[in-house]
Amino acid sequence: MSRTLDVTSFRPDTRLAAAGAGLLAAGAGVAAAAFTASLFTGVPSPILSVGNATITLAPSWLRDFAVEQFGTADKPVLLAGIYTVIAAVAALAGLLGLRRPWLAQAITAILGLLALIAAATDRTSLSSPPVTVLPALVALVVSLVAISWLLSALGRRQQAQAGSWSEPHPGDDVGADFDRRKFLEAVAVTGAVLIAGGVGSRLLGPAQALASRRGITIPAAADAAGAVPAGASLDVRGLTPYLTSNADFYRIDTALTPPDVPAATWSLRIHGAVKNELELDFFGLLDRRLVERRVTLTCVSNEIGGDLIGNATWTGVLLADLLAEAGVQPGADAVLSTSADGFTAGTPIEALTDGRDAMIAVAMNGEPLPIEHGFPARMVVPGLYGYVSATKWLTDLEVTNFSKFSAYWTERGWSEQAPIKTASRIDVPASSATVRAGTVAVAGVAWAQHRGIKAVEVRVDGGEWQQTRLAAADGVDTWRQWVWEWSARPGDHVLEVRATDSAGEPQVVEQAPPRPDGATGLHRVGVTVT
Ligand SMILES: Nc1nc2c(c(=O)[nH]1)N[C@H]1C(S)=C(S)[C@@H](COP(=O)(O)O)O[C@H]1N2
Ligand SMILES: [Mo]
């Protein structure tokens, strides 16, 4: 180190204060930038942009190494690394600034410019250039002003009249009698910016996914679902609507609060037994061929007659397309999906590639996925219970074998594989209802996803099975409404329903609880006719 940059002659506490000033200035810049970013929708903080740039620029061996070493923690590790490098450079800048304030400013400016470039080239940003680079600009300005101010208060003795500084002589410990009051003032203000920015962005932080969601427009699907067939919806009071609104859709997951995953930071890795590993970001996913399909989801925990079932229009990318691109190696029989909150599901590759519309969904009923239904992306697989297929907040797909893992619910005593069982439900009359004698509409829904419903029958008091009238079919992946006109005579009666799938297989009559692979039995409703 040249003599003029030699800072070793300063007292340790002066050097500590200088390094601290560098750290504080950088911290204030980073915090103010994070706060600025959180004010906008889908604008990553400069730290995230630098992370994204690092991932883009890193040689593949390094990426592979990181993933191997840290697995799903690779991103936190990367961010920690970025913070560490910035802290080290900032502390050094502060130290060097004791002798050469312009050098500290130059180093700060270079850091800021790198952040600007990373932000400007960050394709995960939902916003356009002026807003995208605004946080980095804030980081640059705040840290530059802060370091200048802190060093001016610390590094040199102030000339009484001019307020300009004398060039120190090498070896002077100018810090020995620095303007302590001025320095503490600068520390207090910079510290306040750091704390306010940090707290502010934290407060807005949990809403990041919500803010990000508001900024997203899902492109029209190249392969649209088309209109619901006329007659798929029956006009019966009290009958469950054919399409379930997002607000009414059942929700099942292990998350106390849904993971907060803004689209800008989301990525999906498709790896394992594949020829070409894929890494997708949200916008890359939207750029692909989107399909739109109506699919009825069902929870394995749904009791006979229960309501853990809903029918929505999903938009997404076919898993078959993605797996074809990745190139599944022969012998693999499962895809292990993992969510941002660590939930896992194992799905047979067969169900993802046999021509059914298994997809990574990004929209539900024409809107970006609601946060609690998996924003930004989830799996939807027609015909399989949710716990083995419908992973929300999806982040990772590993092509593998069932023999090599045990998914979340499988570990807890549920079956490894779980196709949805044919089932039916009576919606009206409601259980224990009292109805007037005469013609009574008995109606409900029946489902056998990916096989389709061929018939629904009803019987009264254990009598003859009566054919009901089915609503128009809307493919095989959705439930089907049915109605039967009952000539109800006074008294207490028991109504029962049974469905038959399109292969002619009737639903299982024998009662069984949901565990381990779905309930069986007939839905029975007792009514009083007066
Ligand atoms: N990340 C995550 N995804 C999940 C779950 C979960 O606990 N965590 N539960 C699954 C289960 S059991 C079901 S039935 C469906 C329910 O999806 P929904 O909440 O959108 O109706 O999500 C599936 N996906
Ligand atoms: Mo479920």
Condensed to tens digits (0 to 9), the pLDDT of residues 324-349 reads 999 999 999 999 999 887 789 999 99
Ligand 1 atom with minimal separation from the 393 CA: 1
Alpha helices in 265-353 (DSSP H): 282-286, 319-326, 349-353
Peptide bond connecting 59 to the previous residue in cis, omega within 30 degrees of 0: no
The three-class DSSP label of residue 386 is: helix
The full set of domain ranges for the chain reads: 12-205, 263-412, 423-529
CATH-assigned architecture of domain 423-529 = Sandwich (2.60)
The predicted model gives 349-360 an average pLDDT of 98
- Residue with CA nearest ligand 1 atom 21: 251
pLDDT at 384: 98
Residue type present at position 353: T
The predicted model gives 13-35 an average pLDDT of 91
Peptide bond connecting 348 to the previous residue in cis, omega within 30 degrees of 0: no
Q: Are 298 and 308 in contact (CB under 8 A)?
A: yes
* Residue 147: Cβ within 10 Å count: 29
Q: Is the CB of 451 under 6 A from ligand 1?
A: no
Q: Are 109 and 97 in contact (CB under 8 A)?
A: no
DSSP structure class, residue 297: E
**Mean pLDDT taken over the chain:** 89
The predicted model gives 459-486 an average pLDDT of 98
The sign of the CA dihedral 436, 439, 444, 448 is: positive
Q: Which of 116-130, 171-185, 272-286 has the lowest mean pLDDT?
A: 171-185
pLDDT at 159: 39
pLDDT at 315: 98
Q: Is the CB of 297 under 6 A from ligand 1?
A: yes
Ligand 2: centre distance to CA 522 (Å): 20
The predicted model gives 465-470 an average pLDDT of 98
Q: Give this prediction's pTM.
A: 0.67
The answer, yes or no, to whether residue 195 has pLDDT greater than 70, is yes
- Residue with CA nearest ligand 1 atom 7: 253
Q: Is the CB of 251 under 6 A from ligand 1?
A: yes
Q: Are 389 and 351 in contact (CB under 8 A)?
A: yes
Residue predicted with more confidence, 64 or 377: 377
What phi-psi label fits residue 186: left (phi over 0), alpha (psi between -120 and 50 degrees) or beta? alpha
Virtual torsion, Cα 168, 173, 176, 182, nearest 10 deg: 40
CATH superfamily of 263-412: Oxidoreductase, molybdopterin-binding domain (3.90.420.10)
The predicted model gives 24-50 an average pLDDT of 85
What phi-psi label fits residue 432: left (phi over 0), alpha (psi between -120 and 50 degrees) or beta? left
Q: State the pLDDT confidence band at 5, using cuts at 50, 70 and 90.
A: confident
Mark 106-127 as b/e (b = at least 16 C-beta within 10 Å). Answer: ebbbebbebbbebbeebebbbb
The answer, yes or no, to whether residue 55 has pLDDT greater than 90, is no
- What is the tally of helices (H) and strands (E) in the chain? 11, 19
The answer, yes or no, to whether residue 169 has pLDDT greater than 60, is no
Q: Which of 41-50, 159-168, 183-192 has the lowest mean pLDDT?
A: 159-168
The residue to mutate among 387, 421, 449, 517, having the most atoms of ligand 1 within 8 angstroms of its beta carbon, is 387
Share of the chain above pLDDT 90, in %: 68
Virtual torsion, Cα 13, 19, 21, 24, nearest 10 deg: -130
Q: State the pLDDT confidence band at 1, using cuts at 50, 70 and 90.
A: very low
Q: Are 293 and 477 in contact (CB under 8 A)?
A: yes
Q: Are 259 and 441 in contact (CB under 8 A)?
A: no
Q: Are 481 and 471 in contact (CB under 8 A)?
A: yes
The answer, yes or no, to whether residue 158 has pLDDT greater than 80, is no
DSSP structure class, residue 145: H
The answer, yes or no, to whether residue 86 has pLDDT greater than 50, is yes
Q: Is the CB of 387 under 6 A from ligand 1?
A: yes
